[in-house]
Amino acid sequence: MAQELVFDSDVQSRKDLAWWLYLFHGASLVFSLGAFSWIPLIISYLKRQDAVGTFVYSHHNWQIRSFWWYVVWVVVGVLLAMTIIGIPLAWMVFGVAWVWKAYRLIKGFIYLNDNRPMPD
């Protein structure tokens, strides 16, 4: 039995937007340590409802959750850095948070290109 590939331009345009948002998050992470990730975050919040019922919706949720957890870990690192003893631990937290965010962006990017939803 042959499989038929159906092209839906609405889903494709939503997928393209999510692709660009992943790219912007990644560029922000590399060039500003995520300081400008609030821009794609706002776009994800605004465009998430347009993607309800598609696999792209899960990618917007994935990006939003990735952003907020990254912020939590950066704040933990900043609090640790305020103490002399916590500075080495703060650098470790910053490094692990950066790698974790990069992992989530790469995983999301791969799943998006494979037309797969992100796990909850």
Best CA proximity match to 41, nearest among 67, 23, 20: 67
Q: In whole numbers, what is the pLDDT of the chain averaged over residues?
A: 93
Q: What total of structural domains would you count in the chain?
A: 1
Please check whether residue 34 lies inside any domain of the structure. yes
pLDDT of residue 6: 55
Question: What is the C-alpha to C-alpha distance for residues 33 and 41, in angstroms, rounded to an integer?
Answer: 15
Please check whether residue 7 lies inside any domain of the structure. no
Please check whether residue 68 lies inside any domain of the structure. yes
Domain range enclosing 69: 12-113
Taking each helix axis from N to C terminus, what angle separates 9-32 and 87-113, rounded to the nearest 10 degrees? 160
C-alpha Rg value of the chain to the nearest Å:
17
Sequence-distant (6+) residues with CB within 8 A of 79 are 86, 90
Please check whether residue 4 lies inside any domain of the structure. no
Contact 108, 62 (CB under 8 A): yes
Per-residue model confidence as pLDDT tens digits over 62-80 = 999 999 999 999 999 999 9
